[in-house]
Amino acid sequence: QVQLVESGGDLVKPGGSLRLSCAASGFTFSDYYMTWIRQAPGKGLEWISYISTGGSTLYYADSVKGRFTISRDNAKNSLFLQMNSLRAEDAAVYYCARGNWNDVRLLDYWGQGTLVTVSS
Amino acid sequence: QSALTQPASVSGSPGQSITISCTGTSSDVGAYYFVSWYQQHPGKAPKLMIYEVSNRPSGVPNRFSGSKSGNTASLTISGLQAEDEADYYCSSYTRSSTLVFGGGTKLTVL
């Protein structure tokens, strides 16, 4: 069955960096667009970034553009999010989710999330 | 990238029907039939309930239905059940090739 397992969440100081990972299994990872979504405590969902199947197409929300970098390793069935210059407002649960073969118009599987805390 | 507009809360009694609206613009909801709805129970990951405005993934009860008119999409849940109590989020693909979510609606089953 399809599984997405995020890891890498931690407590980090403002201005610090963190790298999140998402391990995928149960499907042909390289056939799907992948995305990161976050949810601040008590708040709604916010789309962060997505990446195409081969990794050549990348999109970011304005709130993270220039600070976060999405990438993937299809050989290792893994999705990544490098987060730099972290701010208090980046504190959230970060979810990876699966799109479809051509875009992220629908997200049919989600991981359980990994918590990022930004505090001095 | 402004969030789509949803009511903060809706409520209904078991067996009743409720509708949650999701209002965007001609650049997102009104641009394509790429609106999805997600259900999220407390402490859990979101679950896809409706995609491409009105399609249900396998396993989602047919009590859940979706529609769209212009820049507003809607999720209707008929025959409300206690387990439907959750937060619901709409999302839309945009003309800028990005994704935008609504602010979320808390459904209370009375």
Q: Are A19 and A9 in contact (CB under 8 A)?
A: no
Q: How far apart are CA A52 and CA A102, in angstroms?
A: 7
Token digits of residue B96? 């800028």
Q: Are B93 and B99 in contact (CB under 8 A)?
A: yes
Give me the pLDDT at residue B98, please: 95
What is the rounded average pLDDT of the residues A10-39? 97
Q: Please check the confidence at residue A58 and state whether its pLDDT lies above 80.
A: yes
**Closest chain B C-alpha to A42 CA, distance in angstroms:** 10
> For residue A37, which of B3, B110, B27, B82 has the smallest C-alpha distance?
B3
Q: How far apart are CA A38 and CA A7, in angstroms?
A: 14
Q: Which residues of A touch B99 (CB under 8 A)?
A: 35, 47, 50, 104
Work out the mean pLDDT of chain A and round it to a whole number. Answer: 97
Compute how many other C-beta atoms are within 10 angstroms of the C-beta atom of residue A95.
Answer: 24
Give me the pLDDT at residue A51, please: 97
Size of interface A-B (CB pairs under 8 A): 62
Nearest to A110 among B45, B51, B99 (CB): B45
What is the rounded average pLDDT of the residues A85-114? 96
Q: How far apart are CA B17 and CA A15, in angstroms?
A: 48
Compute how many other C-beta atoms are within 10 angstroms of the C-beta atom of residue B79.
Answer: 12
Give me the pLDDT at residue B2, please: 83
Within chain A, where are the H helices? none
Kindly state the DSSP code that residue B44 receives in the 8-state scheme.
S
The count of residues in chain A is: 120
Nearest to B98 among A37, A61, A111 (CB): A61
Q: How far apart are CA B94 and CA A95, in angstroms?
A: 20
Counting as low any pLDDT under 70, the low residues of chain B are: 1
Nearest to A44 among B48, B57, B103 (CB): B103
> For residue A78, which of A105, A111, A117 has the smallest C-alpha distance?
A111
Contacts of A82 (CB under 8 A, 6+ apart): A17, A19, A68, A69, A70, A71
